[in-house]
Structures are given as structure tokens and as C-alpha cells.
Chain A
């Protein structure tokens, strides 16, 4: 996994729990913790860190990863503003992940191992993202989707009708956009 994911996790932990917490987690996971965005590290290191964090906070690893996704998105927006042009809405942004963002990411980090997304657009306010990856990190995608909603100031809902963790061979994230400011439960035509 790319170092940028680690440096981002490092930031998140230090921001929310302080420098000592990160130092402590590294010690617990027996890692030297020298991370550089452009380098590549074993997936197992990420799992060990999430495990240590889970032990510390009592929060399930899946929920931590989702939170991490939420935290990561505005950081990405800060670092790569080109992917967030003025006037863009969350749905357009999510549609650009596979064909634009991750394509550019691959140019920057040729050894990145990126997931694939296929899109379906059943209605103007809906989007289905079919996720496939050896890493089965659909919860990270969920967190990034929530982070995108927050970033663009929109309300959305999603559910997974199929998931690796339910024995399917891909994850199907069905998203429903409810526009800026509207309260999800009022004009809600999502099932």
C-alpha cells in the first residue's frame, strides 16, 4: 500500500489523539513508522496499525477504516485540488474516480494497486459503484463517499446490496443523492 495512505493515517491519529498515541501504536505494532508518501509498504503494516488503533479505542476495525476514509477525503482535496474543480457536485466527483483520479494516481505512483469501479446510473439522483479489489476495502470506499458528501455540502445515503464480506465476488454500493441542505427523510425516494 502506498505511503500516502500511511502518512494520512499518521496525521489523523495525531490530530485526534495526539503525537503520543501514534508513537504508542507504532510501538504496539512493532513498526519503525518511517513513512514517505511516494514509497510502498506492506498491506500487513496497515492492518497492524488499524488493529493497534482498535485495541486502543475499542472501536471495530471496519468502523475505524470508514472514519479514516472520511478524514482522508478533505486531505486529498487539499493536496490535489485539480480533482475538485469549482461547481462540481459529489455525484460527478465519484464518477471521476475510476476514469480520471485513479488514472492520474497511477501515473504518479506506477506501482499503486488501485481498485476498479464500474458505474450504473439508474436515475439522476442515484449512482451505483461496483467495487472490485483484492484488498476488499469497501468500507474505505464508504468512508470516502461520506467524506465526499461532507466536502461538497450534500446529503446522501448509501447501502451495499452485495459485498465481499457477504460472500459475493464484488461489492455493490448503491448511492442516493439528496441534494444540498435537504433533510434526507423528507423527499426520500431511495429504498
Chain B
């Protein structure tokens, strides 16, 4: 049976229920708004983080460049110091020789004067003295040595000029734009630059077959070769071979750099191209070489691959697209 007061109570209950439902809905809407706002802020934050990461990466690439320049300048200083050293010593020997020779020239002058004055006694005395000096100072040897010292010095100066030129073509500061190049030139220039790092431990076996041109930023691509060559040298403990091979396929130029050094354990292969991954002692490797190289090769539309067996050695293969002007021909 339904009484009037029951109906009244029911409508009170319904009113309260309705109010609770409405309050609950408002609360739910507010939570939704809070979440949306949080989401927006989180996204905003993420974008900022992303931007700053991109900025950091740029700086890292820059500092890797600086680090390799630092590493190399020590080697290059050595390469240049050596010829400068012997050229300097040759020149100071030549200065001594010039003293002896100018003394002789003065004595010959005196002989000429004595003969002109008809003083046979004086001239023959001076000639005897000259003969004695020529004997004592080994003038014949000295003249031969002059030639040798000069040739050697010219050679040394030529070497210094070559190193400076290699450095210039290695960095190619003057040309920022991409250009069509024969990668073999870059490889040769880079080899001269890293020679000091390799020469004691490595035999370098060059198999540089003719290849089509590649459109690239030569300075950057040389930086890739440099990283790979330095790594190869560092992987060799006592004595080994670094082999550099160039070849081409339909669409790509292929440069392979292999060493018979320590090799890379399977579990490290996937981490090689990660920034800061290094197995070298603190202070010796920053672990940026390969990650930077990867970025450069990728930017040029190429690929860089690695295969390795521990104890046998490692091969890095860089593939870069053949220049469009070449393939159009």
C-alpha cells in the first residue's frame, strides 16, 4: 500500500539522488578538465625537452669534431716537427759550410791578386795553403754533402706543405656546399692525416678501385673515414692490417674498412652507434665517433653497417648513393 507520506519520502530520495548524480557528474567533468590540462602541459614539456635534446645533440656533434681535431693535432704536430727538425739541422750545417767556402773564395781572390801583381812566391804559398785546407776540410765531400742536405731539406719542406694541404682538403673549410667527389681522394687525404696513429702498428692495404663520384660534404665524409680508421687502428693491439676497399653497385659507392683487431662482442654490436657507448678507458674515448659518423652517413642518404668476430676482426661498410649527375650519364 502506498501512503501519501511514502510518496513524499520517495520524491525526497529522488531529489537527493539527483543532486548527488549531478555533483558526481560535475566532479567527473572537472577531473576530465584537469587531465586535459595536465596532458597539454605534459605535451608542452615534452616538446621543450625534445627541442633541448636536439640542441644538445648539435653541441655534441660539434664537440666531437673539436675532440677529433684535438686528438689529431698532436699527431700532426709530430708529423710536421720531424721534417722541421732535420731541415733546421741541415740549414745550420749548411751555414757552417758557407763559412768554410767563403774563406776559400777569399783565398782564391788573393791568388788572383798575387798572379796579377806577378808575385809568384805569394801565389804558390797561398795555393799550398788552399790545398791544405781543401784536404783538412774535406771540401769535395762538403760540396757533395751540400747537395744532399739541400735535397733533403727541400724534401722535408715539401712534406710539410703536403701535410698542410692534406689537412686543408681534409677539413675543406673553404667549401661548405655539397659537391661531386671521388671518395678515393678523401680516403687518401684522411690517411695522411691519421698516418701517425696507424704507422707503428698497421700495414695499410689499399684496394682503391675506380668508383663513380658521390655528392657529399667532403669534410664530413672524411670525418667518417677518420673515425673508422682511428677505431681500426685502436682495435689492433700489436701488429695488424687495415684494409680499405672501394667498389660500386648499381646505385651506391661502397667503402669497406676492415681490421684484424680484437673484434666486437655480439652483445655490443647493437650499441655501437649509440652516443657515449665506448669500451675505451675514461679519458681516451668519448664514444661519439660512430654515433656522429652514423648521423653524417644517414644525412647523405647512405648506410653504415658492421660485422665482426671476436678475435678475428671487424669490417665497417659505408654505402653512399652515386651522384645523380653520374648515374644520369
Question: A residues touching B (Cβ–Cβ < 8 Å)?
Answer: 19-20, 22-23, 32-39
Contact = CB atoms under 8 A, between A and B. Distances in A.
A126 B25 CA distance: 43
B13 A20 contact: yes
B65 to A, nearest CB: 43
Contacts of B14: 19
A1 B28 CA distance: 16
A34 B23 contact: yes
Contacts of B16: 23
B10 A20 contact: yes
A35 B21 CA distance: 8
A47 to B, nearest CB: 20
Interface of B is mostly: helix
Contact of B24 (A22, A23, A35): A35
B60 interface: no
Contacts of B24: 34-36
Given A19-B14, A20-B10, A20-B13, A36 B28 contact: yes
A19 B23 contact: no
Interface of A is mostly: loop
Nearest to B9: A20
A34 B31 contact: no
Interface residues of B, number: 13
Contact of A19 (B13, B25, B27): B13
B28 A38 contact: yes
A166 to B, nearest CB: 39
18 contacts: A19-B13, A19-B17, A20-B9, A20-B13, A22-B17, A23-B16, A23-B17, A32-B23, A33-B20, A34-B23, A34-B27, A36-B24, A36-B25, A36-B27, A36-B28, A37-B28, A39-B27, A39-B28
A36 B31 contact: yes
Best-buried of A19, A20, A36, A38 by chain B (most CB within 10 Å) = A36
A38 B38 CA distance: 15
A32 B27 CA distance: 13
6 pairs of A and B residues whose beta carbons are closest in the complex: A34-B23, A36-B28, A36-B27, A23-B13, A20-B13, A34-B24
Contacts of A20: 9-10, 13
Interface string B3-44: 000000110011011001001110110010000000000000
A38 B32 CA distance: 9
